[in-house]
Amino acid sequence: MHRRLVFEEPVSRAAIWSRRLAWFSCAVLLLSLLLVRLREPSIEGLAPVVGAYLLVLLALGLALVAFARIWQKGHRGVGMAAGALLLCLILLAPAGYVGFMLATRPALADISTDIDDPPAFSRSMAALTAREGRIPPDVAPEKRRLQRQAYPKIAPIVLEEPADAAFSLARKAVTALGWQIVESSRPGGRSGAGRIEAVARGRILHFSEDITIRIKPRVDGSRIDVRSASRIGSHDLGANTKQIAAFAAEVELLMER
């Protein structure tokens, strides 16, 4: 009786290492994000995240090499390579979103509902302390015009409510959004306008946007203008627009109650 020997094709080493490296880069990315959260936010502080994404790209490359080897030589390990490829694509999705925003949105880091007379940020001690001494600089008129072209829906909030009631609505909206209120003053005084200074912090990387809200009385009600400025970088990736849109949506929701 003769025994029949069955020879199995070897498992692709590229597939094995692509899976290992994909999970390793996932762990490194999570740790790097945690490190960024624990430190003071800065562009330089994103270096560990960039390094982690280089590992993700290397794992992706190995997975593609594994597919090529499996196709050419009939090696096993297609499941490992597919799993590594899927994990890498998931990890690269946020980076792809950042790249998309950089390519499709203008380089703006200060957005205002009033581009002709943007609300000014407070220079009080409390406001300066909350903003770590930073005063968002004035934005050139051409940048404001660029904002209007890129974000035409960012506009003043006009209410039929009197300014004092609009101020209360604005405070409630800021609180509901989880923004830190630095200081506020009700409408009245010499200018007749009310003001709310706030800070909004990102959930993942804790990057901050400084926000000032101006409430002006009108003959037929009131007008609310919002200005949001990023502390870091010259491109906000649409963050300030999202803050203003979220505030406007919250005010509308409160008006319906």
List per-residue pLDDT tens for the chain, 257 residues long.
455 544 466 878 888 899 999 999 999 999 998 888 777 777 777 888 999 999 999 999 999 999 998 888 777 888 899 999 999 999 999 999 999 999 988 899 999 999 999 999 999 999 999 888 889 998 988 899 899 999 999 999 999 999 999 999 999 999 999 999 999 999 987 778 999 999 998 877 778 999 999 999 999 999 999 999 999 888 999 999 999 999 999 999 998 87
**Domain assignment of residue 133, yes or no:** yes
Tokens of 130: 């909350």
d(CA 243, CA 227): 9
Q: Report the CATH number that the domain containing residue 242 is assigned in CATH.
A: 3.30.310.80
Q: Do 156 and 32 share a structural domain?
A: no
Q: Do 51 and 93 share a structural domain?
A: yes
Give yes or no for a contact between 58 and 64, defined as CB atoms under 8 angstroms apart.
no
Q: Do 216 and 138 share a structural domain?
A: yes
Tokens of 122: 């407070």
Q: Do 168 and 130 share a structural domain?
A: yes
**Domain assignment of residue 151, yes or no:** yes
Q: Do 218 and 131 share a structural domain?
A: yes
**Which of 69, 104, 139 is at the close of a domain?**
104
Bridge partners, residue 16, by sequence: none
**Which of 79, 104, 129 is at the close of a domain?**
104
Q: Do 122 and 77 share a structural domain?
A: no
**Domain assignment of residue 2, yes or no:** no
d(CA 58, CA 26): 12
- Kindly list the distances between the CA atom of residue 233 and the CA atoms of 22, 43, 107, 142, 220, in Å, as whole numbers in the listed order: 30, 7, 9, 19, 40
d(CA 142, CA 56): 39
Q: Do 63 and 152 share a structural domain?
A: no
Q: Which domain holds residue 48?
A: 13-104
Domain count, the chain: 2
Q: Do 138 and 78 share a structural domain?
A: no
Bridge partners, residue 227, by sequence: 112, 212
Q: Do 163 and 82 share a structural domain?
A: no
- pTM for the model stands at 0.83
Q: Do 134 and 246 share a structural domain?
A: yes
